[in-house]
A and B are shown apart, each in its own frame.
Chain A
Amino acid sequence: MIRWSCRATRRLLESHHDGELPMEARASIQNHLRQCPSCSGERHRLRQVGVELRAAVSDHAAG
């Protein structure tokens, strides 16, 4: 498995988050995320955008 730097991880983090990367790259990024609190925090913030946006849309639809 290739060892990923933070820079490489950040570049592909959004595609990874969206499930758009091939299996090998996905595994390498997951490995990096397990070891890097900074990148894993970035991933968490990316995830929160989707979570909060869906909640906002749902609230708006409910009135």
Chain B
Amino acid sequence: MGSLKKLVNLPGFNNALSSMVAIGAGLLFGLIILLVSNPAEAFPGFAIILKGGVSTGAKGMGQVLYFATPLILTGLSVGFAFKTGLFNIGASGQFIMGAFAATYIGVKWTFLPAPWHWLVALACAALVGGLWALIPGLLKAYLNVHEVISTIMMNYIGMYLANFLVKSSIYDSKKALSMNVAESAVLPKAGLDKIFFNRMGASGHIDLSTVNCGIYIAILVAVVMYIVLNKTTFGYELKACGYNQEASRYAGINAKKNVVLSMVIAGALAGLGGALLYLSGAGGRHIKVVDVLAAEGFNGIPVALLGLSNPIGIIFSAVFISHITMGGNYLQTLDFVPEIIDIIVACIIYFSAFSLILRNLLPRFLKWRKSLKHDGEGGNSEREGGENR
């Protein structure tokens, strides 16, 4: 009992719990929409959403991880910027620019041998994503242009530019997609092909999942970001600037430089996310030349919110959102209109993002419960959303 109490008092537990409650609320809301749109099939439909990728066995689970990979990176991009006091709405643009850079190198630079080819592609994608965020960073630091405005603008510029560049250099007009990247540029499976596959029919044909070592890279990057933010002087400075720029300046920290650096790092993360999604061979994703902003970029925002901007939390929230999205796709086997499915998934995701509010409400609620139990016996802590290190 005593250890349970200790656990409840840990801020980390509190954070995780509020995310869980938010997810619960989101799912409940999704169920209501299901009931309204198609009462007869609502509960089987709800079960499909809950099962997510698991509906199609090991391959489906692999696909969940494959689509979670870019979400982890864009979630980190938004979350990292948020921790340093910036609101990066531009993950979409940075993501697609990184995706283009990686695909271009993957298709054209065939002179590079296998591990180097995809490594260089990843590095260049991060670089291009970083450069894409450098512009809003500079504008913010030196001309005080709000980063929300400038990153939104950069999203559109990035999308159209990527469309133009894909069409003029690496376009496969038969499929209306970007070309397949060279074999040497495809991210290795690193053992994941032994886990995430389905055996089809009597012939034993193996249906492989697209998941590859990108998920390892994403998790590694998340861990690195966690360490940078919480254990290094660099993270200490960045967070200080995020909380109070004037006081950081007073302490001798170069606040302007840090704003630019934060944006560049956030952009590099999103750009890397683009590369990890698109360097996945013929069966994987290809860049579509359509006038739509990359959804992975925007979904980074709820991922970061649900993960409370904690890099480790972001890994889990990205997997969850990918899981729910997959579940939504399988809903089509029942009698649901695709638009309704999108609405349901979006509602669940956005409800989940309320975890931030819940984190502040939950302790109060618990306290209230407690004070009801033993009224007047002296209530306990009123915790003001203090950040845990």
Answer yes or no: are A and B bound together in one complex: no
List residues of B whose CB falls within 8 A of some A CB: none
